[in-house]
Structure 1
Amino acid sequence: MPVILDDAEKYRGQTFDGVPILPMARMADHPHARFLCLVGSEKSYHARPEIIARTGLEPDRFATFVHPAAEVSGQALIGHGSVLYSGALVTSNGQIGEHVLIMPRAVVHHDVTIGSFSIIGAGVIIAGGAQLGECCYVGSGSAIRNGVAIGAGALIGMGSVVVKDVAPGEVVAGNPARTLRPAPR
């Protein structure tokens, strides 16, 4: 049985697609549960690795959640703890790291690698062969050109069109995307 961990008061007693949301202090009450970590926004995405490490759980204690309306190629690999929402599509040879969130209607083309702890916003298109490092945030409606490399910790602003490589930790936005500043820490 999967369980979502979230310490926010507003989620106490709530469920997500039928999965109960519990505070982290209640993990021990569920020794056979498998967990999901849904924490992440453009302001908090860097905290995901620390939050997951703080649980002290082994990787196999994290559920991988693929919504029934998401599509994943049989040749794609999805890491522990990753979540693919309704309408997400991962095509052949996609490699999705651990604890990656892929929001509704995002499309991950062939041979794309997405590093662990990254967040891919709704409606994002990542073209073939693109490589995203760990702990990246790609804002909703963005497009990443084929073969582009996005460095670890980078933030891509909403609706951006990324046509060239992005250095680790950079914040880029626009069409074409340009560097605005180093990513927040």
Structure 2
Amino acid sequence: MQKKKLIIFPFNGNGIEAFDCINFDEYDFIGFIDDDPTKKSMEYDIFPKVILDKYPELFVLAVPGSSLSYMERAQVIHSLNIPNLRYINLIHPSASVGKNVKMGFNCLVMAGAVITSNAVLNNHIIILPNSVIHHDVIINNYTLIGSNVVVAGGTTIGNNCYIGSGTNIMNSITIGDFSLIGLGSNVLKSIPENSKVAGNPARSLAFANN
């Protein structure tokens, strides 16, 4: 079977870690996309976005975003201007994904992650290493889950959220859209949209600064 030609966007930390998730029996890795001329690499080829127009056969994994830019993920990804059929999912071989898990497109699941029964990952999701997503969890579009995060069963995480590494989220609660949870937090109750919380138990950062 002919290998699919794969390119990763952008050349950032998520992208470099995604490289380790590639199954080279399935994909022929071409390089990275990044329009920032200051980004250089001795190991990888870096191309401008126009390569996607020149070579429509290229498949794409788009993994922009951090705790500082998570709210712009949708805008940045859509700047590629490609159809959804060109996006792929990458799952590290050491990750465990349950048989009944539903996954959309452009999802990255890194090493050691565990996703269990009936969980739903929608589109443009990143799960960093060693995180555990329990049964019946729903993670909505453009959300990033840090490393060593535990999301207990029945919880819903909204669109464009950032869940900091080492966080524990209680079962059957809701994290509203565009919310950020700081590193190492314990989230024990639902959080409204556009929230920024941290701590044990997690509380509003705006409240904590008053």
TM-score w.r.t. the length of structure 2 is 0.80
Alpha-carbon deviation of 1:26?
A: 2.1
Q: Work out which of the residue numbers 40, 43, 52 in structure 1 matches 2:77.
A: 52
Percentage of matched positions with identical amino acids: 35
Q: Is residue 173 of structure 2 the alignment partner of residue 176 of structure 1?
A: no
Amino acid at match of 2:100: Q
* Contact 1:5 1:23 survives alignment (8 Å): no
Distance change >3 Å, CA 176–CA 14, structure 1 → 2: farther
Distance change >3 Å, CA 62–CA 21, structure 1 → 2: farther
* 2:203 counterpart SS class: strand
Q: Is residue 181 of structure 2 the alignment partner of residue 156 of structure 1?
A: yes
Aligned equivalent of 2:94: 69
Q: Work out which of the residue numbers 111, 114, 126 in structure 2 matches 1:101.
A: 126
Q: Is residue 155 of structure 2 the alignment partner of residue 121 of structure 1?
A: no
* Contact 1:14 1:21 survives alignment (8 Å): no
State the distance in 2 between where 1:21 and 1:148 align: 41
State the distance in 2 between where 1:174 and 1:137 align: 15
Alpha-carbon deviation of 1:106?
A: 0.6
Alpha-carbon deviation of 1:85?
A: 0.5
State the distance in 2 between where 1:43 and 1:88 align: 23
State the distance in 2 between where 1:152 and 1:140 align: 18
Amino acid at match of 1:147: S
* Contact 2:64 2:77 survives alignment (8 Å): no
How many equivalent pairs are there?
179
State the distance in 2 between where 1:49 and 1:72 align: 25
State the distance in 1 between where 2:139 and 2:158 align: 6
Q: Which has the higher strand share?
A: 1
* 2:205 counterpart SS class: strand
Aligned equivalent of 1:36: 61
Q: Work out which of the residue numbers 5, 8, 28 in structure 2 matches 1:4.
A: 8
* Contact 1:3 1:22 survives alignment (8 Å): no
State the distance in 2 between where 1:95 and 1:40 align: 21
Distance change >3 Å, CA 22–CA 124, structure 1 → 2: farther
Distance change >3 Å, CA 124–CA 12, structure 1 → 2: same
Q: Is residue 166 of structure 2 the alignment partner of residue 141 of structure 1?
A: yes
Distance change >3 Å, CA 11–CA 125, structure 1 → 2: farther
Runs of at least 5 residues in structure 2 that lack an aligned partner in the other structure: 11-34
Aligned equivalent of 1:25: 50
Distance change >3 Å, CA 163–CA 70, structure 1 → 2: same
* 2:53 counterpart SS class: helix
* 2:79 counterpart SS class: helix
Which structure has the larger Rg?
A: 2
